[in-house]
Amino acid sequence: MNYKTSISFRKETLTKLLNAIIMQETEIIQALQDDFKKPAFEAVLTETNYVITELKATIKKLRKWTQPKRVMPSLLNFPSTDYIHSEPYGKVLIIAPWNYPFQLALCPLVAAVAAGNQVVLKPSELTPKTAAIITTIIEKVFHINHVEVQEGGIEVAQKLLSQRWDYIFFTGSVAVGKIVAAAAAVHLTPVTLELGGKNPCIIDETANLKLAAKRIVWGKFINAGQTCIAPDYILIQKNMKSHFISYLQNEITKAYGENPKLSPDFARIVNEKNWLRLVNRITPEKVVFGGQSDIEDCYIAPTIIEENDLESLLMEEEIFGPILPILTYEKESEIETILSKYEKPLALYVFTDSKTFAKKIIRNFSFGGGCINDTVVHFSNNRLPFGGVGHSGMGAYHGRLSFDTFSHKKSIVKKATWLDIPLRYAPYNGKLKSIKKILNWL
Ligand code: NAD
């Protein structure tokens, strides 16, 4: 079957997918809770509803997106009509992570189908209930030659990566991103790599501290800190630190109660391996809030750490859990010293009332995307490209850009036949002056 031919067919299958997700939303939310106690509110906001919104927008705009896009012709080619034709790459492999296991598998899949590709999706093995429901839905909606789910772990991913693909879309860690890039290079397969990093959250002396604390607590502890764009560490003016910590404590207690373990709104660490990795990074003497943990339940409390050692285990790599180190600076130049220790992050946040300070941070540092006076929410606007830079990834998607990501852009010049200017043709004898004049004029 040739899936790239019919826009109606793409719309029809995407509508089927939309209906299947709406029909099974309760089961999807349950699967996410079974996998790592993702709160229902977060499951709707960041997983099911996100995919539903993306699907609706794609179905609505697909015909427009697939239309050849006219561009201004070049006078050198006069007379011509120039346009960009979007064609599907062909066979696409999507490898997804576990932290937003529904959304990060389905959103690229929607775009790949919209662009007319055949897809093989490998969801994460660490969230098996969600992977199972994804398989059920996909099998119900798509023919196996069109979209197929292959569940399993590293071996399955490696086997898939050893095959030839026309496009690979990977979301996950930097380390595995490198493996994917190397496998793609064998066949010169284009890739999108949506990776991670150590996302700084910088607060200057003009910031509204109370509001900053509220928005940082939300962005850091949603999904128990297992968010690729969660603030990784705070960098705050030294004299504001203790004030800010008390605001953070207040906000954590307001959000999750005196004992966050009992809160239905606080997720768990995905597995024991990650729990251990995180607990090993908590130095008890540095804890100013939280620090409790329970392996039975893969629970780690929202934890604030006073950190002043950039060489510590906690500061070595992306935290990816509910531990928030607070670092301080006195002079602005120290911000650069700290940030330059790390690879370009996926996100950066700056809290300030100073337009100059915000501008300086945005201009001076390279990062995937971010917010001024908020965290994480840049993800929600599908008119903004979402992706990393350097070690935090390559390529970007969301909204129209997702469709473009999965389409090859063919440039076409449709030349008229009623006129054929002879200047460009050999013999060039005596034509150099004229061509120079024209090129100069253009
Ligand atoms: P991961 O890299 O361990 O796994 C991602 C996928 O790759 C899984 O499907 C897994 O089965 C597969 N995989 C694992 N090891 C492999 C190997 N050796 N060879 C081939 N495939 C392999 O990542 P994760 O733990 O699932 O997710 C957490 C990471 O993902 C964090 O670093 C986070 O920042 C990043 N992330 C990035 C984004 C983004 O949009 N940029 C979103 C979510 C998560």
Give the pLDDT confidence score for residue 37 in this predicted structure: 97
Token pair recorded at residue 177: 């991103």
Cα separation, 262 vs 294, in Å, equals 12
Q: From the CB of 397, is ligand 1 less than 6 Å away?
A: no
In this structure, are residues 289 and 245 in contact, taking their beta carbons and an 8 Å threshold? yes
**With 0-12 CB in 10 A as exposed, 13-18 as middle and 19+ as buried, what is 60?**
exposed
Please confirm, yes or no, whether 311 is among the known catalytic residues: no
Give me the residues of the chain with pLDDT under 70, please. Answer: 1-4
Give the pLDDT confidence score for residue 442 in this predicted structure: 82
Can you give the three-state secondary structure of 102-153, one letter per residue?
A: CHHHHHHHHHHHHCCCEEEEECCCCCHHHHHHHHHHHHHHCCCCCEEECCCC
Nearest residue (by CA) to ligand 1, atom 23, is 172
Catalytic residue, candidates 107, 201, 228, 298: 228
Give the pLDDT confidence score for residue 277 in this predicted structure: 98
Determine the residue of 174, 227, 228, 405 to mutate for testing ligand 1's pocket, defined as the one with the most ligand atoms within 8 A of the Cβ atom.
Answer: 228
Q: From the CB of 104, is ligand 1 less than 6 Å away?
A: yes
Give the pLDDT confidence score for residue 3 in this predicted structure: 52
Q: In ligand 1, which atom is closest to the CA atom of 124?
A: 9
Nearest residue (by CA) to ligand 1, atom 31, is 173
Cα separation, 40 vs 339, in Å, equals 35
What separation in Å is there between the alpha carbon of 56 and the centre of ligand 1? 27
Coil, helix or strand for 219? helix
Residues of the chain with CATH 3.40.605.10: 7-195+390-409
Q: Is the peptide bond before 427 cis (omega within 30 degrees of 0)?
A: yes
DSSP string covering 361-376 = HHHHS--SEEEESSSS
Q: From the CB of 320, is ligand 1 less than 6 Å away?
A: yes
Please confirm, yes or no, whether 201 is among the known catalytic residues: no
What separation in Å is there between the alpha carbon of 211 and the centre of ligand 1? 32
Pick the CATH number of 7-195+390-409 from 3.20.20.20, 3.40.605.10, 3.30.420.40, 3.40.50.2300: 3.40.605.10
Cα separation, 384 vs 386, in Å, equals 6
Residues of the chain with CATH 3.40.309.10: 200-382
Helix (H) or strand (E) holding 412: strand 407-415
What separation in Å is there between the alpha carbon of 147 and the centre of ligand 1? 21
Catalytic residue, candidates 194, 317, 318, 343: 194
Helices (H) and strands (E) counted in the chain, each on its own, are: 16, 18
Q: Whole-model pTM?
A: 0.96
Give the pLDDT confidence score for residue 84 in this predicted structure: 98
What separation in Å is there between the alpha carbon of 197 and the centre of ligand 1? 12
Average pLDDT, the chain: 97
Give the pLDDT confidence score for residue 441 in this predicted structure: 87
Looking at domain 200-382, its CATH architecture is: 3-Layer(aba) Sandwich (3.40)
Nearest residue (by CA) to ligand 1, atom 35, is 172
Give the pLDDT confidence score for residue 2 in this predicted structure: 53
